[in-house]
Structures are given as structure tokens and as C-alpha cells.
Amino acid sequence: MKKVAILQSNYIPWKGYFDMIAAVDEFILYDDMQFTKNDWRNRNLIKTPQGIQWLSIPVGQNINRRIRDVTMDSKWQPIHWKTLTQNYRRASCFREVAELLEPLYLELSFNNLSQANRRFIEAICSYLSIQTTISNSWDYHLKEGKTERLTDICMQTGGTEYISGPAAKDYVNEKIFADMGIKLTWFDYAGYPEYPQLWGEFTHGVTILDLLFNCGKDSPRYMKYVQ
């Protein structure tokens, strides 16, 4: 049995994204898809004393690009690190997690969104001891058809079970998975416990960095598939 998930890369995603990675044997970054503006590809939410705030990578106005073709300069990196430092330096595990993140923001230079997203995702997986294989969609042949493409990638990987986020129910044809002999499982994001969090009312839907800064190596206690 091999479990596979296929999902667009996100910038410093929320904890549910990493639970999905941990729940499968191979996680494929689906960055051959169209870039979508005002989405999670280049931004995420943090908590501040003034409330929830977007942390966004500037990528220009052109949305007629695949995610893998989105370029940017590296001027955003020190700005983002300064913002994270200002809002999380009081968190219990800030110093420990800063050792992981600060080099990514201040020592490396990214000019491609897919590259940046993958590097952050891999660093966080390493911190959480997630051993899942991460690959890119362009490592595989991509055929036409939304569901057909997903099932074909699964077949190429030797996957026997496909794990999908619930939002895909709007377009995934379950019969095609059944006809190909691939089990289709819908991932459940409900039921997360609250954890110690700065700045007022608890909020689940923020970047996983919020959890890491506040809980450090205890973060898996507040997740589902990360051990």
C-alpha cells in the first residue's frame, strides 16, 4: 500500500497541510497548476497584537502563469523575518525555532515561488521529523483531464490510495479513481485541539509557524498525523 497526496505548494502553510504530508508516503507539489491571486500560494496568516494579519510575498499582477513560473525578488525575505520577530519574539519557543527559520529568510535568496515554498516546507518537515518523500508534479508525465491527471500520477508513483483535501469534492470524479483501482480518501481537518497562543482569541487557520513558535518540539501534540 502506498498513499499519495497531490497539492499546490503554499507559503508557510497551516498545520493541516503538514498533517496531510505526514499522512502519506509521497507528497507531490502540484505547481504545474495555474497561479491563483489572493490565495495561499504566496501568503499566509499570522497573529499580531492588532489581530490576524497577512504575510504576503509580492509576485506582481500577472496571474496567467503556472505556480512554478512565478518569479519575485528577494526583498520580501528580511521584511517577513522582521515581522515574524516583532510578533512572536515573546513566544515560548521563538529562539529555538528562529535558529531554523532565520537562515532561510536572511541567508538564502529565492527568485522563484515554487522553490521558496518547497524550501520552507522541507525545513518545517525536518523540524517535525516528517519523513515523507516530497516531489514535484513535473517529475511525472501529466495527461489531460482534472481527475485523469491525478489518477495517472498515482499510477506512475505506484500509489494505491489517494488522499485529497475536502475542497476537491467539487471537481474530482470518484468513479475514475474506482475504475483505476485507487482508493480515494477525503482528509478530515476537523477536531484540532487548541494550543497556547499569543494575542487574544484562539485561531486555528494561521501558519504553522504560530504553532512552532509557541510549542516548539511539543507541536505534534496538537496535530493529528505528526508523531
pLDDT, position 98: 98
Q: Do the beta carbons of residue 92 and residue 75 sit within 8 Å?
A: no
d(CA 21, CA 7): 10
Quote the pLDDT of residue 64. 87
Question: Residue 200, by phi and psi: left (phi above 0), alpha (psi -120 to 50) or beta?
Answer: left
By the 8 A CB rule, do 131 and 24 touch?
no
**pLDDT one digit per residue (tens) for the chain, 227 residues:** 999 999 999 999 999 999 999 999 999 999 999 999 899 999 999 999 999 999 999 998 887 899 999 999 889 999 999 999 999 999 999 999 999 999 999 999 998 999 999 999 999 999 999 999 999 999 998 988 899 999 999 999 999 999 999 999 989 999 999 999 999 999 999 999 999 999 999 999 999 999 999 999 999 999 999 98
Contact 7, 168 (CB under 8 A): no
Nine-digit cell string for 98 = 528562529
> Which SS3 state, helix, strand or coil, does residue 37 take?
coil
3-state secondary structure of 221: helix
Q: Are 55 and 207 in contact (CB under 8 A)?
A: yes
Pairs from 153-156 (Cβ < 8 Å, separation ≥ 24): 153/4, 153/6, 153/28, 154/4, 154/6, 154/180, 154/182, 155/180, 155/182
pTM recorded for the entire structure: 0.96
CA distance 146 to 171: 8
CA dist 188 and 203 (Å) reads 18
The pLDDT score that the predictor gives to residue 63 is 77
Predicted local distance difference test score (pLDDT) of residue 74: 85
Q: What is the DSSP letter of 79?
A: H
User: Can you read off the three cell numbers belonging to residue 170?
Assistant: 467539487
> What region does 199 belong to: left with phi over 0, alpha with psi -120 to 50, or beta?
left
Residue in 124, 137, 99, 147 with CA at minimum distance from that of residue 22: 124
| φ and ψ of 48, to 5 deg | -135, 170
